[in-house]
Structures are given as C-alpha cells and as structure tokens.
C-alpha cells in the first residue's frame, strides 16, 4: 500500500510518501520546509502560517517526486500530536482536505512513535530497539514493553535541543543552535564542571543550562562551554539509554530526532553499544529529523493492523503521550 | 583466591560473587565508561561509590534491610558487601496472589518511608533493586542516591518507582497505591505533601 504522511508538530512541515514492501518501508519521497524564526524561539502561530503557506506545494512536490499519481495513494496520515496546537491543526487540516478530495481513508498518528517505527521500518536488522529520541522539545528513552511503547526515561524539565537553543540565544547564536554549538565544541579544550543530573532513568538539563550561562558571564571561552555542555549532557543521555537497555534486556539502540545528527552524541551511543555487544542504528538524516515519511509509515502499520478513523475522530492532541498508543501492529 | 563469578552485569556496574575473610560476598565494581570524558568518568565513579556506601550504612541505621558493607575502594569503585541470596521483586511481583502482592507492596512503602524519615533518597527505586530474602525486602543499589530533606526529592524518589511499576508491571498498576498506603503509615512527616508532590511531578512531565 502507498501512504502519504503530513508532519507538522513544530518547526517542520513535511510530506512523505512511502510504500510497504515485505514489511519494510520504502520511502518514495520525503520533502519538507523548516520555519526559521527571525528572532528568538518558535512562535506557534507564525510557524503555523508558514506551514499553511507551503503545505499544498509540498504535497504536489511529494507526489511528483514519488513518481505516483494521486489516485495511487491508498491512505493519508498526519501527525496527531504531541506538538504545538496551531501547527498540528494546520497539518491535520491539510491531511483531511486531501483525504476527502481523494476519497481515501485517513489516520492520525503519534509523532514520537513514528520516530521509532521509521527506524524499524527502514533499517535492516533493527527489530526491537531502545530509542533515544532527542529533539528540541522531546527527550525520551522509549522501548516496547507489554503492548505499548513505554517511556523508560525522559527529561524532567527541558528537552536537550531546547537546552542547547536556549544557551545559544543567551550567547547570540542563531536558531538552530545545535549544529553551531557542535562546531564550537570541537575547538573546546578545557572541561568546565557542570551538573550531571540523573534520577533513575530520567534526566534534567535546566541546572546545566543555568551554570553554562554563568560560565559565559564569567568570561569562560565559548568553545570550552559548548564542549563541556555536550560532554556532560550527552554522557547523561547515553547513560540513561544504557540503563534502559539493561532494564528492558534489549540489545539494540536506535537514535532519532534532530539532535541525533550530532556526531559526538552518535559516537558516545555507538561506543556504549559496542561495549555492550549491542547493535547501534541511526536512520538517514532526513528520517531522523521531523519528516512526513515517518508519519506515512506509521500510518501504513496502523492501517494494516486494522485501525480506522472517521474524520471526526481525527482531532489533534497537543499532549499525545507515547504510551497512550495501543500498539496493535506488534506481537 | 576466588575466581571472578559475575552475578549480574548492569549498565553501570558488575556484581561479582566472591569471598572475603570466609564470608560469601558480593563485589560491586563500577565500570569505566569510555564514551565519556575521563574526568567525568572518574569523578562519577569515585563520588558515587562513596555516596552509595554512606547511604547504605545510613539505611541500615534507619531500620531498612540492606547488605552489610565489608570494604570500600574509592579509586577502583568497588564496594564489598554481604551476599543477599533471594529473589528480585521484579521477577516475582507479577506472579504473586493479589493478597501477597498487597502485603509486599505495603512493606516496600514502609521501608521507603523509613529511608525518607532519615532524608535518605534511594534515587533508583525500581523492582529490580529490591530482593526478597527471609520474608524481608532488601534494598540494593543506592548508586544514584543522595541525602536530601526536601519533599521534592522524596516525591521524585517515589515517582521513579511509580514509573517502574507502570512500565514493568503495567497489569498491576494498583501496586503503587499499596506502596503509598505503607508509606503513609510509616512516614513521620506529612505524607500527603509527598503524594501531592508526586502528582505535581507527573504533570510536569511532558504532555500530561
């Protein structure tokens, strides 16, 4: 079956088309536009306006790139949550309009679960991973247990991406700050002690952020601060991921989310996996960040397991938790 | 001398069965993690080893069953302690009868309250870290623990257990209610403040 997915939880409006072939996901097209605020952080309404401006063209582009006719699409799916209300509503409205026009079924899917499923769907040998999902808003360690994707660990305050972005704003780095902080960190030499906060399998970053900002005000070199932030925060993330792997007795680890693009984070998790004799997986970059293809793929899985939604059931849920999804497509 | 016999390989440490002056003992050795900076790694290993040993001694004084400590090596991060020959609560909880489960969970709650009465925060209260021996719950792995009198810390401590029960014993999520019953009974301060705090922490999590 061929499914078109619309992603719109935060900065990104994305449209992807996937096809299932012997239970694996083949991405036919995956296009997106990312909203860049001029100043400060994301403004939900402006992001939504941005999405509304581009979504129709993105749908056209995705269909063209996939080399299919719109009548070949069997299913439309969209990100039902979690995310920013205005953004979610824009993506959902576009998906509903498309499904009604094509007279095809529609499914709303959970964004966080989609990050995990796209890894399983596109990577050979990735079957039952622990997912370290790190993005701007989300920082979760997710694994399958007793019929659901359960959150074994998560941030108790802010997401790691948000932590990096907030620090970036304090020191005058433009959004998105992660890649720039990564570059600066490579030139860092001195480690400045920062709070390493782990509670059980949960992490917290606000203390680290405050202290990093204090170092900046005290005149410490920005490169050293970035280096220290990465080393401390990523070590904590790697540690809780390892704890979740030990706890759930799983031997695969998967990265997802925008921060998974960071080479230092990848490297730490890879080393951890190697030392445990576990497999390490990262989807390709455009499947790691927010994208439509992962939404489409989760739609396929849900549809094939018998899930159906009426249009009036496709309302969005800003607080759609990972563990609210009944995973009917897995044993 | 005894050969190395690994009982359990955790994420953070390996637990070996060994012998110490004729006693059957467990050696908990914190593993070096090459993924993190050596400075962070050795700092975490020595400070966590020291903190853990101190907390275990405090816990015993508070009337909670924990392994007896024989030796502490801060440089290599090794604690030599009594071997608790029992069953992990994680492995048996789902197979207990309703009544047994209720009794056990209340007992767990009573013990957590005893820790909290003395400002001992375990830091990782999961059912993997409790061993049932001689009908008593023994608490192990104080590796992420701390001394803290704040209600926040106590709330977070219980919240970790709540999450562990929800994820590992999801069919028996009423277990946590029984834990709270025992906890309320034994806690010297106002337990309702802690329970309120747990609810607040749950809401603080993402998308609640």
DSSP string, A176-243: S-HHHHHHHHHT--SPPP---EEETTEEE-HHHHHHHHHHHHTT--HHHHHHHHHHHHHHHHHHHHHH
Beta carbons of B37 and A199 less than 8 Å apart: no
**Using CA of residue A208, residue A214, residue A216, residue A219, what is the dihedral sign?**
negative
Active-site positions of B? 124
SS3 of A317, please? coil
A137 CB within 8 Å of a chain B CB: yes
- Comparing CA positions, the residue from A289, A227, A301, A213 lying closest to residue A255 is A289
Task: CATH number for B5-82: choose from 3.30.950.10, 3.40.50.10470, 3.30.200.20, 3.30.70.1290.
Answer: 3.30.200.20
Task: Report the pLDDT averaged over residues B53-74.
Answer: 96
Chain-chain contact of A154 with B205 (C-beta, under 8 angstroms): yes
- Reported ipTM: the value is 0.87
Does any CB of chain B come closer than 8 Å to the CB of residue A133? no
Q: Which residues does chain B have within 8 Å of residue A198's beta carbon, measured at their own beta carbons?
A: 144
Sign (positive/negative) of CA torsion A199, A204, A206, A210?
positive
What was the pLDDT predicted at A200? 75
Structural contact between residues A79 and A89, judged by C-beta atoms closer than 8 angstroms: no
Shortest CB distance from B167 goes to which of A152, A238, A243? A152
Domain boundaries of chain B, sorted by first residue: 5-82, 87-204
Distance to chain A for B185, nearest Cα, Å = 25
Please name the helix (run of DSSP H) or strand (run of DSSP E) that holds residue A131, with its range, or none: strand A130-134
Cross-chain residue pair A200–B36, CB shorter than 8 Å: no
Mind listing the domains of chain A with CATH numbers?
Answer: 2-117+287-324 (3.30.420.40), 128-282 (3.30.420.40)
The answer to whether residue B205 scores a pLDDT higher than 80 is no
Candidate from A152, A235, A243 with C-beta closest to B35: A235
Where does chain B show beta strands of DSSP type E? 5-9, 13-20, 23-30, 69-73, 78-82, 87-88, 120-121, 130-133, 136-139, 146-147
Cross-chain Cβ contact A321/B206 below 8 Å:
yes
Looking at every residue in chain B, the average pLDDT score rounds to: 92
Average pLDDT rounded to a whole number, residues A309-325: 95
Cα four-point dihedral sign B39, B43, B45, B46:
positive
Q: Do B170 and A146 touch (CB under 8 A)?
A: yes
Residues in B touching A140 (Cβ below 8 Å): 206
Q: Provide the mean pLDDT of chain A.
A: 96
Which residues fall within 8 angstroms of residue A199, CB to CB, at 6 or more apart? Answer: A156, B123, B144, B156, B160
The stretch A127-143 carries a mean pLDDT of: 95
Tokens found for residue A148: 């659901």
Mean pLDDT of the region A166-190: 94
With beta carbons less than 8 A apart as the criterion, state whether A255 and A132 touch.
yes
B157 min Cα distance to partner chain A (Å): 8
CB < 8 Å from B in window 79-98 of A: 81-82
Interchain pair A239, B166: CB under 8 A: no
Q: Which of A167, A158, A170, A177 is nearest to A258 (CA)?
A: A177
CATH topology of domain B87-204: Transferase(Phosphotransferase); domain 1 (1.10.510)
Q: How confident is the model at residue B91 (pLDDT cuts 50, 70, 90)?
A: very high
pLDDT interval class at B132 (50, 70, 90): very high
Residues of A in contact with B9 (CB under 8 A): 246
**Cβ–Cβ contacts within 10 Å for residue A38, how many?**
8
Nearest to B36 by CA among A48, A231, A29: A231
Q: What is the dihedral of CA A167, A173, A179, A183, to 10 degrees?
A: -100
- Confidence check: pLDDT of B207 > 70: no
Give the pLDDT of residue A214: 98
Residue A196 forms contact with B (CB below 8 Å): yes
Task: Write down the pLDDT at residue B182.
Answer: 97
pLDDT for B206: 56
**CB proximity list for A328: less than 8 A, separation 6 or greater:** A302, A305, A306, A307
Does the beta carbon of A267 lie under 8 angstroms from any beta carbon of chain B?
Answer: yes
Helix (H) or strand (E) holding A153: strand A148-154
């Amino acid at each position: 079956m061929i499914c078109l997915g619309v992603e719109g939880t935060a900065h990104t409006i994305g449209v992807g088309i996937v096809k299932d072939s012997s239970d694996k996901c083949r991405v036919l097209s995956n296009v997106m536009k990312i909203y860049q605020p001029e100043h400060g952080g994301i403004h939900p309404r402006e992001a939504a306006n941005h999405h509304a401006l581009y979504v129709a063209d993105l749908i056209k582009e995705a269909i063209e790139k996939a080399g299919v006719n719109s009548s070949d699409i069997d299913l439309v799916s969209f990100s039902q949550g979690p995310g920013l209300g205005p953004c979610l509503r824009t993506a959902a409205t576009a998906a509903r309009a498309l499904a009604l026009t094509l007279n095809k079924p529609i499914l709303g899917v959970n964004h966080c679960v989609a990050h995990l499923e796209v890894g399983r769907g596109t990577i050979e040998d990735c079957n039952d991973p622990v997912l370290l999902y790190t993005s701007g808003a989300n920082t979760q360690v997710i694994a399958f247990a007793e019929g659901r994707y359960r959150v074994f660990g998560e941030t108790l305050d802010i997401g790691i991406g948000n932590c990096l972005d907030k620090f970036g704003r304090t020191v005058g780095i433009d959004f998105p700050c992660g890649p720039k902080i990564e570059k600066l960190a490579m030139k860092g030499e001195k480690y400045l002690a920062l709070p390493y906060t782990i509670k059980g399998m949960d992490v917290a970053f606000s203390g680290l952020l405050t202290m990093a900002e204090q170092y900046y005000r005290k005149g410490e070199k920005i490169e050293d601060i970035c280096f220290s932030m990465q080393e401390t925060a990523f070590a904590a993330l790697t540690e809780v991921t390892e704890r979740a792997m030990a706890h759930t007795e799983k031997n695969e680890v998967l990265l997802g989310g925008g921060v998974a693009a960071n080479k230092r984070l990848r490297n730490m998790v890879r080393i951890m996996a190697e030392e445990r004799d576990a497999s390490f997986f990262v989807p390709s970059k455009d499947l790691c960040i927010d994208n439509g293809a992962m939404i489409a793929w989760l739609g396929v899985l849900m549809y094939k397991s018998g899930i159906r939604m009426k249009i009036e059931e496709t309302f969005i849920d800003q607080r759609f938790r990972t563990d609210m999804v009944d995973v009917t497509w897995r044993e | 001398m005894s050969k190395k016999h690994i009982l359990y390989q955790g994420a953070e440490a390996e637990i070996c069965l060994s012998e110490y002056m004729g006693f059957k003992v467990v050696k908990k050795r914190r593993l070096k993690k090459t993924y993190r900076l050596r400075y962070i790694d050795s700092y975490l290993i020595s400070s966590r080893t020291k903190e853990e040993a101190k907390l275990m001694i405090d816990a015993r004084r508070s009337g909670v069953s924990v392994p007896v400590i024989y030796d502490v090596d801060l440089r290599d991060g090794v604690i030599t302690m009594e071997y608790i020959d029992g069953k992990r609560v994680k492995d048996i909880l789902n197979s207990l009868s309703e009544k047994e489960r209720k009794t056990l969970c209340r007992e767990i709650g009573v013990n957590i309250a005893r820790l909290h009465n003395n400002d001992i925060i375990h830091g990782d209260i999961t059912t993997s870290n409790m061993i049932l021996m001689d009908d008593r719950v023994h608490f192990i792995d104080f590796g992420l623990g701390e001394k803290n009198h704040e209600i926040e810390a106590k709330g977070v401590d219980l919240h970790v257990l709540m999450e562990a029960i929800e994820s590992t014993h999801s069919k028996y999520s009423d277990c946590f209610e029984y834990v709270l019953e025992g906890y309320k009974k034994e806690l010297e301060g106002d337990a309702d403040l802690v329970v309120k705090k747990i609810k607040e922490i749950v809401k603080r999590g993402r998308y609640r």
